[in-house]
Amino acid sequence: MPAPVTLLVHGGAGTLTRANLSPAQELEYRDALGQALRAGQSLLLRGASAVDAVVAAVSVLEDCPLFNAGKGSVFTHEGRNEMDAAVMDGATGQAGAVAGVVSVRNPILAAQAVMQQSGHVLLIGQGAEAFAQSQGLAMEGPEYFHTAHRWQQLQAALAHQQVMLDHDGQHPQGQPEPIDRKFGTVGAVALDAHGHLAAATSTGGMTNKMFGRVGDSPLIGAGTYACDATAAVSATGSGEFFMRGVVAHDIAARMAYGGLSLAEATQATVRDKLDATGGRGGVIALDRHGHYQLAFNTEGMYRGVVQGQAEPQISIYRD
């Protein structure tokens, strides 16, 4: 019996406890994750590809200011929004990514265009911007990406002379403390009706990051990876650790070369490549049999899953 179409999403990991979110805030996050899941689910149920499903789900999260991607992206030290995104097709091994874009409304659409239209894998900065515009993608000015909450985060980070990870240590119950350090990267992995996998990831990076800093999200094998023979993986967390550990590919490699199950490979990678090195964050991972993992070593992770025609299942806290 074929595995049901499956879609997983994440919206970041970090210090997420019930003391950190009011019921109203929690509902907003759950609603946004649900919208992303339903957007991808509807495509999968109509026979669309896993690539189209993950791109649709991530686009919804990029349009939501709650998450550190697209419209909700954090600010660099210079007060700019520099965004990264990637997508990979597990059926073909093709991948596309953009890094350091500042005016592409949906960076994940630019990554998809790079994969399908450019003949390259990764475009950066002005070149990526020009290519996205040539593909007819929506472009926006700085005001579109400028949200008051993210600007306050930058001011707090500058005052503390620190690079801040989005939302980690969020102020309790909406109190007016602007330091917000959750790893707010968004991502999705999917299995379509044809048995193919795909992964997509998008992020604004870290508050107060250096000009031109690129994290793991657009790096194939670090924050994003998909192969039909093993798994589709999207990561969120302290990007430098995911890059050094090549975390997304490491999960697939343990399956391919060590014969581990998805669960065993995911747990081993989190243990060896994150826990052991002090890295924090999480991954969503999915194999062609519909087995999935939502693994993290933080207090919580915004996450959700939907299979077949079932209702989406959404979680935030570790319990």
Active-site residue list: 185
The answer to whether 13 touches 274, Cβ cutoff 8 Å, is no
> In the structure encoding, which two tokens stand for residue 212, read together?
């031109």
Burial status of residue 163 (CB atoms within 10 A of its CB: 0-12, 13-18, 19 or more): middle
List C-alpha distances in Å: 26 to 10, 22, 67, 246.
Answer: 15, 6, 13, 32
> In the structure encoding, which two tokens stand for residue 17, read together?
């406890």
DSSP state of 207: B
CA–CA separation, 3 vs 289, rounded Å? Answer: 5
CA–CA separation, 166 vs 15, rounded Å? Answer: 10
CA–CA separation, 108 vs 103, rounded Å? Answer: 13
The answer to whether 231 touches 255, Cβ cutoff 8 Å, is yes
Cα–Cα nearest to 205, from 150, 132, 244, 248: 150
